[in-house]
Amino acid sequence: MSTESKFSEAAVLIGEPNASNRETYSYAFETKGFGKVKVVALFPDFKDALKQEPFDLVVCDTELPGGDLCDLVRDSRQGKLHPHNAFAVTICLAPAPTQEILKGTMEAGFDKVLFGSKGQRKLFNVIGELMKGRQTFIVKTDYVGPRRPGLDEPFPGEDEPKTVKTPNPLRLLADGSTREDLDQVLVEVAADLNMKKVESHVEHLLWAIEKIKNFTGVRDMDGEIRDVAGQIIDAAADLNARIDDQALSHVRDLCDVLVLVSTRITSTSEEISSTDLELLPNLGQAIEVAFSQGETAERDAKLILESPDIVDKLVRKSVLGVRFY
């Protein structure tokens, strides 16, 4: 990697448990011209940094104590921490290529994984390679990150994995973009990521509800129904969190009810209530109508939920605790 690249404005986060390595990395990055380098030794500090500050490059060791690195990076890629960090160039350092680490880091969405001391020595070469070009990011209900073999198939119910324009913060800064230019790019791509996640969740929710409908009445399918209901909870909860448009506030209400009904299905150890199973197709219909392009989408979705039959089911199951009107 050329030391002439303009990285004085690049923000780097390093998570490294070894004190000697922390000193080495700090010196090496400063020597290469990186002007803003933050080095932490513990997982909670690493997590706080990803939540509170935007970074262009993240380098982290799997042995950072205090938490699960792969789960954290997965959340970061989904935009659940600082939204700009979803697109940070993110490199994992690991002691050895175990099956657990290979699977976990791939599903988390790292740009690259380096193993052992040999991998550490290649770090700046890899940063230079990633600066030149990154894999296109795909967006699915359960994944955001570089396109990878085995991850580029659509999640059940999705038409296809969606893609977002993948910014390369290091490249942009090296080419002379200002921090303000880069921030504007990241704001636009984060908004696109959010919308693609919403679309993926809606597609998956409709599939999951139809799947449960097909299972209903079939003997010995309660386990499969509970599994799919768990997927509904995850997708509906994240969909709810991503909707900040007041015009779609009615969709948040729908998500609340989907989560409540699906939680009842997953939490009961007894026979699943037929009333809860009957509610799901109606809620799916309301979701589908709510995201249609028609001018009356909001009104039509509310009419479905406000129908006497649906309200009666909600009241009888004591889940009518949200606003529809």
Can you list the domains of the chain with their CATH numbers?
11-192 (3.40.50.2300), 216-316 (no CATH)
Give the span between the Cα atoms of 314 and 142, in whole angstroms: 29
Task: For residue 277, list its beta bridge partners.
Answer: none
How far is Cα 230 from Cα 288, in angstroms, rounded to an integer?
20
pTM for this model (two decimals): 0.88
| DSSP code per residue over 312-325 | HHHHHTT---S---
What pLDDT was estimated at residue 323? 40
CA 83 – CA 197 distance, rounded (Å): 13
In order along its 325 residues, the chain shows pLDDT tens digits of: 554 457 888 999 999 999 999 999 999 999 999 989 999 999 999 999 999 999 999 999 999 999 999 999 999 999 999 999 999 999 999 999 999 999 999 999 999 999 999 999 999 999 999 999 999 999 999 999 999 988 889 999 998 889 999 999 999 999 999 999 999 999 999 999 999 999 999 999 999 999 999 998 888 899 999 999 999 999 999 999 998 765 677 788 889 889 999 999 999 888 898 888 988 998 898 888 888 766 666 667 666 666 656 655 554 454 444 443 3
Q: Give me the pLDDT at residue 219, please.
A: 81
pLDDT at 295: 62
For residues 75 and 145, the answer to whether their CB atoms sit within 8 Å is no
Instruction: Report which of 65, 62, 124 is spatially closest to residue 89, judged by C-alpha positions.
Output: 124
Query: How many other CB atoms are found less than 10 A from the CB of residue 163?
Result: 14
- What's the first-to-final CA gap in the chain, in angstroms? 59
What pLDDT is recorded for position 159? 86
